Amino acid sequence: MQEYLNSILVIVAAINLFTLGIFIIFLLNIRINIRRKARESEFSLRFMDVLQKADTLAQAASRMGITIEKAREYCTANAFETPEERTLRHESIKKRKDEETRRIMEEETIWKAEQEKITEELRREKEFKSRNRRERLRKFGIG
């Protein structure tokens, strides 16, 4: 019976050692994954910084030490805006602002012209009424 219990104890100890080995491998894998994610995050942040400061994608790729194709793929995969796209977006925003400003100025000019017309019509109407009053007063010999 003692031998049977010893063999069970050896089997349990072997299972525990095996489980401990798997746990250690699991912890090492987590450590490796955390380091890899940290390096990827660091590269991503550095790449974003370089992209924002560069004028072209080629310039950013050369600063990062990678090819233009890899830089373009990385931008596409991570939804980063290339310097060229950023420049186009800024130009389109500026163009829309300029168009909006021009439209507002045109509307303001039209509104001022309408106001001047209204003011002129009111002035003419007042002059006409005052002329009619003067004529009526002259007819009756008051003016």
Residue range 53-72, pLDDT digits in tens: 999 999 999 999 999 999 99
Burial of 74 (0-12, 13-18, 19+ CB in 10 A): middle
Residue 94: other Cβ atoms inside 10 A: 10
pLDDT computed for residue 143 by the predictor? 56
How much is the average pLDDT of 103-108? 96
- Domain range list for the chain: 2-139
> What are the pLDDT digits (tens) for 112-141?
999 999 999 999 999 999 998 888 888 877
Report the percent of the chain where pLDDT is more than 90. Answer: 87
Report d(CA 139, CA 133) in Å as an integer: 10
